[in-house]
Structure 1
């Protein structure tokens, strides 16, 4: 007898083995509180660029918001409960944008792409949340004499070097002031899934929002300083499915750097508040 889908349970392919566990559904169907996990360390560097180079990256109903400042952030996460205490790393590239839909408007950081080094969060994030996630290798950073250096590669081809130095510790008051100053509606995404057999058409195509509120996240440390970024141009032979992404970033004009941050946090959320923008 063929199986039936259990109402209100989350499934992913392969669906034949029952409801799927993941970030938003534990083995007993419970939610993960994310109060004491994950523990994260993030390196971010921002720079001012030519707005004309960012506009072609915007999906329908999106526009630039404020200064064309691109932020590249590498995050290292550990002790993740939904992975039974394991961790993974991410690399995101974003810039401020506004979505204007038929029913609502939202302004925040538009996440153009999020590389990750583990299959499980890539699949769940793409299918369930609409994050533009793809794979790359993200080794742990090196730290020497106060200088941080992180890299990203794909099957051995290094496509990014990011540096942070001359770092100064922020006080709790400075951390709080910075957090308030960067308030927004959240992180903007554009979810796209192709339609099987009808090549070149979409099965799903819409904007999504990760609301900014993350009440369980606590910033335990933040350092600010100077940073630099270098995306290394790639050939099709180097990165057959990603070279166009890397080359787009490598071609961005860096008019001036806007600083670097090292941020450490504890806690987060399961992103079950993710929603479609209409």
Structure 2
């Protein structure tokens, strides 16, 4: 009979062996390109999508494209992601923290999706996400589902930031509070077996930063996607309907990312 050991950590399927739990474990991606679009929107509307304990710090949404290469936990492999996040404050009975709360994260690799959902409460689902295309000063990428593009991102002629700006961005990137909500539904009925706020510490070692003009566009998915299990249609439709009052200069960062899942914990 297989017996679970409390001193070890398991992922499904759990019955084929498991690594020893390492309380100091980190996950490093050594070559990371990040492109960030920051838009100002309706703060009251944003609040409707944040669970109890979280409040928007600013009426902003970040659309973040991240291209990860030389990923240690993928044996040097790679993946891309698009993260839609809100700067927030968490106010609990014990914890008082500021950071970002991802509303949805699309990734094009199942391995980080599985671990990020189960362990760290990150709202990860699958999409086809192109590598960043660079041509004649234009940087662009698309996110698609079964051949249907639902998000296009583009940036033009990025220029290096000043040394002062670089040092500020570098300093603020060393440690980041990324929040999540781990929700496990009940089997065979409504309600949750587990529903809890999560802290997932991360960081970035910054090598360079640039700014430039850019645009993004949401493309409504076909009605055929309305009833898929992960509600792709409604997610895209909802995000596309957020009002855009202003769009900040688009930022591109180069560096290495450090994920700290072992330092994650349930917020109180």
Do Structure 1 and Structure 2 share a fold, with TM-score over 0.5? yes
CA distance in 1, matches of 2:176, 2:103: 17
Return the match for 1:149 from 140, 144, 147: 140
Q: How does 1:191-202 map to 2 (within 5 A)?
A: 191-197=182-188, 199-202=189-192
1:225-259 deviation line (CA, Å, top 9, x unaligned)? 11211111224314533111111111011111111
1:196-217 deviation line (CA, Å, top 9, x unaligned)? 12x22011111111235x3xx4
Deviation (angstroms), 1:52: 2.7
CA contact 1:115–1:135 (8 Å) conserved in 2: yes
Distance 1:32 1:46, change over 3 A: closer
CA distance in 1, matches of 2:172, 2:32: 22
CA distance in 1, matches of 2:53, 2:6: 34
1:83-113 deviation line (CA, Å, top 9, x unaligned)? 1111111110011112221222222111111
Higher mean displacement: 170-179 or 249-258: 170-179
Deviation (angstroms), 1:46: 0.9
CA distance in 2, matches of 1:264, 1:185: 16
Structure 1 counterpart of 2:10: 11
Higher mean displacement: 231-240 or 134-143: 231-240
Check if 1:72 corresponds to 2:63: yes
CA contact 1:78–1:85 (8 Å) conserved in 2: yes
Distance 1:268 1:184, change over 3 A: closer
CA distance in 1, matches of 2:252, 2:160: 9
Check if 1:87 corresponds to 2:74: no
Return the match for 1:237 from 208, 224, 227: 224
Structure 1 counterpart of 2:259: 269
CA distance in 2, matches of 1:237, 1:154: 11
Aligned length: 265
Deviation (angstroms), 1:164: 1.0
Q: How does 1:107-256 map to 2 (within 5 A)?
A: 107-180=98-171, 186-197=177-188, 199-211=189-201, 214=203, 217-238=204-225, 240=228, 241-256=231-246
Question: Could you say which structure has the higher strand fraction?
Answer: 2
Structure 1 unaligned residues grouped into runs of 5+: none
CA distance in 1, matches of 2:191, 2:92: 21
Structure 2 unaligned residues grouped into runs of 5+: none
CA contact 2:106–2:127 (8 Å) conserved in 1: yes
CA distance in 2, matches of 1:183, 1:38: 14
Q: TM-score scaled to structure 2, two decimals?
A: 0.90
Distance 1:30 1:104, change over 3 A: closer
CA contact 1:107–1:184 (8 Å) conserved in 2: no
Secondary structure of the residue aligned to 1:15 is: coil
CA distance in 1, matches of 2:32, 2:43: 31
Higher mean displacement: 51-60 or 253-262: 51-60
